[in-house]
Structures are given as structure tokens and as C-alpha cells.
Amino acid sequence: MTRRLKRLLVAGAAGFIGSNFVRHLRRTHPDVEITVLDKLTYAGNLANLAELDGQPGYRFVHGDICDEKLVDSLAAETDAIVNFAAETHVDRSLMDPFAFVETDVRGTAVLCEAARKHGHEVFLLISTDEVYGDVRTGRSTETDPLKPRSPYSASKAGGEHIAQAYAESFGLPLLVTRGSNNYGPHQYPEKLIPVLITNAIDDRPLPLYNDGSAVRDYVFVEDHCRAIDQVLHEAPVGNVYNIGTGVETSGLQVAEAVLAIMGKPKSLIEFVADRPGHDYRYALDISRITALGWETQVELGEGLERTVRWYVDHPDWWRPLKSGEYWEYYRRNYRPLVT
Ligand code: NAD
Ligand code: DAU
């Protein structure tokens, strides 16, 4: 099946994945009219969407997904919603959980209500593999129970539950994607890979929690965006899709790969105090998304090289972000490892 969408509301697209997705969609579906709604939190950045400014069929609205009136008016002018808007960083969720509950749960409910009221064709919620919790053995399938362990993942699971309740109770045409760890251009330098790269550029220590052994599935953001595009246009409503590469990599392996690409010494690695409640492993069963015909195109080695090159070439993008509040957060977050 191919769904022909005409007017799309994309929430949270001034951030990392959303902005990559909107740029991707302009290439694959240039006829779709796109309205971006974004609050421009510390993680939202209009520079991420600058190349779309002034293009016909694109508009940016500065606002909050929790603003019922605004969301209702935008839903009245569109046929479908893709929701990227969220508080997204686990470490920050340990410092300020309520902001996560507000946006990731209540904000999702506000979007669902507007989509229901205006009879939208599809509501795609961008969720995360973190909703499965720490997975020490095996791989998570889409029917596994949700066992989130951080305020971030619990809020994302809460958003999923609200959306599922709208699907069950009111027939909301819901799709959910659960993506693994994204990396690539335009990622705010608080997540592991951009922290490692931007610190290495400045010969600063590369902080790894505990012993750097926690495992993630790192997916290049453009691969994730292709999968989201495919789910949005081809998947039957009512389905959930895991999106990842199926490859497991530790933080230490990522740090060593980044340093090798950059020609910097391993002595820059610094083991620091662990994240409280750290999930040590996520691992996805990706058979459902591959059955749609999607596959990884950019392996981690190539993706890291492209990402390092992008940060080296764009200090004007990330240097202004690493100032003021950023360093306050950084000092609060990173503590010495006590052995
Ligand atoms: P990000 O932090 O880079 O961007 C989030 C965006 O949401 C920002 O532009 C921010 O301004 C906006 N936003 C926050 N609160 C808002 C509100 N109340 N109203 C409107 N806009 C608001 O996040 P990201 O890494 O691009 O993640 C996007 C989505 O994908 C999130 O829902 C996240 O949970 C999910 N996800 C992320 C990853 C990852 O590895 N980064 C993996 C899987 C899923
Ligand atoms: O799995 C998908 C999720 O991936 C998304 O839903 C989240 O929005 C996104 O933030 C990300 O969460 P993680 O907590 O997995 O990503 P982060 O980059 O913060 O950490 C990746 C791993 O690296 C994790 O094991 C913690 C570790 N880490 C992280 C940072 C920031 C370090 O060792 N040092 C660090 O400085």
C-alpha cells in the first residue's frame, strides 16, 4: 500500500532527527506540505531547518505541543501528524523529570486529541527502544512488555500508552516506531557520540560512564529517517516497528573508533561515575521493519567517519551550543569515578 499524504504536521522538527527527517521528506515527497511545530527548547535549533526557509509548501510555527488551542488550529489545517517533539536526554531526565512528563506524556495526549478531533489519516509517534528497559539477553520484539527504567523512558512509554488508548478508545489511526540510538549531523552535543567528537576536537577528556561497557545499537540518522518515511507511507495503521541495525557496540568501542578516525590518543578516554539506573543493553529484533523492505545502508564505521567530518566542518553549528547553561549541566552531570 502507499498512503498519499498531502498536509503533514511535524512536531519537534527543529531538533536532531526531526530536522533530518524533514530534509529527507522534501527529497522523497516534495509535494507534501509540511508544517513544523517546535518550542525551540535548548535542543531545538532553527539553523537545522535554515535550508528550507522560504520554500513553498514549508512553514515553521514556534509553539508548544502542550498548547491545546494552537495544536487544535494546526491539526485543523493538516491530515497527519508525526511527533518527534520530546525531552530526549536520559541524564537530564534524572535532574528534571517533570519536564519529561509534561512534554512526552501530556504533549503527546494533546496531539492525539487534536488528530482524533480532526479525523486525521495517520498519527505517527516516534518512540524509542528504551521503553523495553534493560535487556540483558535476547532481543526485544514489538509485542514485549514495556519496562522503562528512567524518567525519560517512562515518559516515552507513557506517551505510547496514551496514544494506544486513543487508538483503542477512539480509533486513532496510530503507528509507532521504536528507534535505537541515532547519530549523525545536527545532534546536540550532550549525547554520547557528539560529546566524544566535539571533546576530541578540543583535546578534552572523552567521558565514559563506569567502564564504557554499556551496549547500544547505533543507527545512522539518515537510515532511521528512511525507515520512518517508509512506515509513514506504507505501514498498515495499528502497527509498532522497531528500527535499528541489529549490531551491538559498547561505548568504549565507539570512543576508540572516534579517536582512531581523528588520529587522537586513547589516553583522552576518561572513565567517570556511572549514570544512576544505567540501562546496560538494548537490543532489537528488527525483522518487522526489514519485512517492509528496509535495511541499514550506512554501517557504523562509515557513519562515524561522516559524522566526525560534519562536526569538524561545522564548528559554527556546535561551538555556540557548548557555552553557558551547557557547561553548568556538564559540571552537574559528570562526576569522578570512585573505585
Ligand atoms: P532532540 O532533543 O534533538 O529534539 C527534540 C525537539 O523537540 C527539539 O527541537 C525541541 O525544541 C522540541 N520540543 C521539545 N519539547 C517540545 C514541546 N513541548 N513542544 C514542541 N516542541 C518541543 O531530539 P531527537 O534526538 O531528535 O529525538 C526526536 C524524537 O525521537 C524524540 O521523540 C525521541 O524520544 C525519539 N528518539 C530519539 C532517539 C535518539 O537516539 N536521539 C532514538 C529513538 C527515538
Ligand atoms: O536508544 C534510543 C535512545 O538513545 C533515545 O531514545 C534517547 O533520546 C537518546 O538520548 C539515546 O539514549 P541513551 O541514553 O542510550 O544515549 P546517550 O548518548 O546518552 O548514551 C549512550 C550510551 O553511552 C549509554 O550507555 C550511556 C553512555 N554515555 C553517555 C554519555 C552522554 C557515556 O558513557 N558517556 C557520556 O558522556
Ligand 1 centroid – CA 16 distance (Å): 7
Ligand 1 centroid – CA 265 distance (Å): 33
Q: In terms of domains, do 44 and 65 share one?
A: yes
Q: In terms of domains, do 44 and 140 share one?
A: yes
**Does residue 16 sit within a domain?**
yes
Domain count, the chain: 2
Mutation to probe ligand 2, out of 84, 192, 271, 281 (largest number of atoms < 8 A from CB): 192
Rg of the chain (C-alpha set): 19
The pLDDT of residue 210: 98
**Does residue 287 sit within a domain?**
no
**Does residue 13 sit within a domain?**
yes
Q: In terms of domains, do 59 and 135 share one?
A: yes
Mean per-residue pLDDT, 313-336: 97
Task: Specify the CATH number for the domain of residue 97.
Answer: 3.40.50.720
* Mean of per-residue pLDDT scores for the chain: 98
Task: Specify the CATH number for the domain of residue 256.
Answer: 3.90.25.10
Ligand nearest to the CA of 333: 2
Give, using CA atoms, the residue closest to atom 28 of ligand 1. Answer: 84
Is the CB of 279 inside a 6 Å radius of any atom of ligand 2? no
Q: In terms of domains, do 226 and 81 share one?
A: yes
- Convert the pLDDT of each residue in 5-16 to its tens digit: 999 999 999 999
Q: In terms of domains, do 165 and 26 share one?
A: yes
Ligand 1 centroid – CA 187 distance (Å): 10
Give, using CA atoms, the residue closest to atom 10 of ligand 1. Answer: 44
- Convert the pLDDT of each residue in 122-169 to its tens digit: 999 999 999 999 999 999 999 999 999 999 999 999 999 999 999 999
Say what percent of the chain tops pLDDT 70. Answer: 100
**Does residue 149 sit within a domain?**
yes
Please report which confidence band the pLDDT of residue 195 belongs to, taking 50, 70 and 90 as the band edges: very high
Q: Is the pLDDT of residue 233 over 90?
A: yes
The pLDDT of residue 304: 98
Q: In terms of domains, do 126 and 273 share one?
A: no
Between CA 268 and CA 274 the distance in angstroms is: 18
Is the CB of 90 inside a 6 Å radius of any atom of ligand 2? yes
The pLDDT of residue 197: 98
Q: How far is CA 58 from CA 8, 15, 17, 61, 297, in A?
A: 10, 16, 17, 10, 28
Mean per-residue pLDDT, 31-43: 98
Give, using CA atoms, the residue closest to atom 11 of ligand 2. Answer: 181
Say what percent of the chain tops pLDDT 90. Answer: 99
**Does residue 292 sit within a domain?**
no
- Helix ranges (H only) for the chain are 16-28, 68-76, 90-95, 97-100, 108-117, 151-170, 192-201, 221-234, 251-262, 287-291, 300-313, 315-318, 325-333
Which residues span the domain enclosing 318?
A: 184-216+249-282+299-333
The pLDDT of residue 1: 77
Q: In terms of domains, do 310 and 266 share one?
A: yes
Mutation to probe ligand 1, out of 41, 130, 217 (largest number of atoms < 8 A from CB): 41
The pLDDT of residue 338: 87
The pLDDT of residue 339: 77
Catalytic residues: 129-130, 152
Atom of ligand 2 nearest to the CA of 153: 6
